[in-house]
Structures are given as C-alpha cells and as structure tokens.
C-alpha cells in the first residue's frame, strides 16, 4: 500500500516571504502522479499543482513550485511571495496509475496548516 | 455552473440512526469518491466508484454503504454500525485517471448527539 507523510503539522510565514512544505511518500511503483491540494478555511479543496512521476522537470504554477526527488521519494511545495490568501491547510496526495489495489485511489497525507502573517 | 453539490452541509444525528449524505455532480465525471476528514488524520478514503453500478471499499469502509445507480449521483449512508461517525465528509469526482485531478464538494459536517 502507498503511504504519504507530511511531517509538518503547522507552518507559518510572513507575507511576501517564501515557505516550503515537505512531503514524502512510499511506493514500489513507477507510474504515478503527485499532487498538492489546498483547503482554505471555507473548506472547499482545490488543486494547487500536479507532478507526473515520469517527468524529470519540476512542475510550476505561478508562485507555486515543487521539488520532486523521485529517488528520495520526496515532493515538497514551495510558495514564493506568500499572500494572506495562501492561508490554508495543504495536503500532499498520491495516485497510482497502474494495476494493483491502489489503482484509481488518491492517498492523502495528514496535512500541513499554513498561516501567512501580515 | 458545473460542479459537485453535497447536502446537507450540517447534519445532526442521534445514536442508532442511519443517515444519508447526498453527492451530485454535473461534470460528467466517471469516478466518484467519498472521504472522511478528521483533525490530524488528513483525508481517508471510505468508498469509491469508477463506473455506474460498481464501487469499491476504501480504507475505512466499515459502517458505511454507498450506491451508484446514476453517473451523477453517489450517496453515502452512515449506518449505526459506524462507531465514531462525527466527522467532516468530502465527496469528489474525476474525469479519469489521465488527469488525476479530483474536484471536491464543499463537504458535509455530521455530528452525532
């Protein structure tokens, strides 16, 4: 079974600064996707960024970028120029794309609460 | 607008009662999921369905049941057999595994009195 671990229950950052959220995962498979989801206080979960495991280039979406280290099974999220609206819980997630009991199932980490201070 | 609608947003239940949470999507997505969210435990998968009339147990299916009679609908029943049902429940859907992106509803908060 796949597992996803976020070791930082809470993080805080000053507005306009950069923060990095950590995520590690465990799988013996090669074909999978990794995600970062954001859950703001309003509760609706939205996708922040996605990384395909077969791609060596790190994904980037505006102020959000990832550091994907496949051999180390690490997938951290960097938020640059933090804004007050970035305050949310962030979840790292994994989905297997080949056969097996985890096929089609998204596995989430425990979440990291990020607070951006003015 | 396309999206996922969960109802009710807040629900109170007495012990021993079954309760059904509704999840409807108009995104024409094939796969639908139910997650339970508890503080400090992230999201845990209860059930998922990749096609109409078929569904699979997730990691914490005991005490829950689902049906998938229509593509648009995936209701979750929390039965009296669920020992600790108070939680926040999230429904999600995805077009397919190629994108992998899940679209979420706003959630339902169930409180057992």
Mean pLDDT per block of 10 residues along chain A (118 residues) reads: 91 97 93 93 88 92 96 97 97 82 77 96
Nearest-CB residue to B97 (from A35, A104, A107): A104
In what helix (H) or strand (E) does residue A5 lie, and over which residues does it extend? strand A3-5
Which residues, in sequence order, are CB contacts of B26 under 8 Å at separation 6+?
B2, B3, B72
- CA B99 to chain A, closest CA, distance in angstroms equals 9
Which residues in chain A have Cβ-Cβ distances shorter than 8 Å to B107? 43-44
In what helix (H) or strand (E) does residue B4 lie, and over which residues does it extend? strand B4-7
Chain B residue closest in CA terms to A1: B59
With cut-offs at 50, 70 and 90, classify the pLDDT of residue B100. Answer: low
Average pLDDT over residues B49-74: 95
B42 touching A, CB under 8 A? yes
B92 touching A, CB under 8 A? yes
In what helix (H) or strand (E) does residue B66 lie, and over which residues does it extend? strand B64-66
Q: What is the pLDDT of residue B16?
A: 87
Q: What is the pLDDT of residue A99?
A: 63
Q: What is the pLDDT of residue A57?
A: 93
Cβ(B12)–Cβ(B21) below 8 Å: no
């Amino acid at each position: 079974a796949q597992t996803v671990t976020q070791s930082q229950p809470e993080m805080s950052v000053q507005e306009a600064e950069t923060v990095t959220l950590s995520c590690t995962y465990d799988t013996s498979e090669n074909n999978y996707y990794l995600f970062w989801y954001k859950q703001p206080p309003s509760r609706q979960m939205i996708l922040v960024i996605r990384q395909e495991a077969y791609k060596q280039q790190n994904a980037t979406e505006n102020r959000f970028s990832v550091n994907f280290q496949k051999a180390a099974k690490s997938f951290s999220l960097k938020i640059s120029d933090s804004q007050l609206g970035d305050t949310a819980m962030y979840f790292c997630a994994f989905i297997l794309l080949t056969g097996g009991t985890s096929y089609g199932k998204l596995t989430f980490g425990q979440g990291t609460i990020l607070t951006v201070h003015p | 607008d396309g999206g996922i609608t969960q109802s009710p947003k807040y629900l109170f239940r007495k012990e021993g009662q079954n309760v059904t949470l509704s999840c409807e999507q108009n995104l024409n997505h094939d796969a639908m999921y139910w997650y339970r969210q508890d503080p400090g435990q992230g999201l845990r998968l209860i059930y998922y369905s990749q096609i109409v009339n078929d569904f699979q147990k997730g990691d914490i299916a005991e005490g829950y049941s689902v049906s998938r009679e229509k593509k648009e609908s995936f209701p979750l029943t929390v039965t009296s057999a669920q020992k600790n049902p108070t939680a926040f429940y999230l429904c999600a859907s995805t077009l397919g595994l190629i994108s992998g992106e899940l679209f979420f509803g706003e959630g339902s908060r169930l409180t057992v009195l």
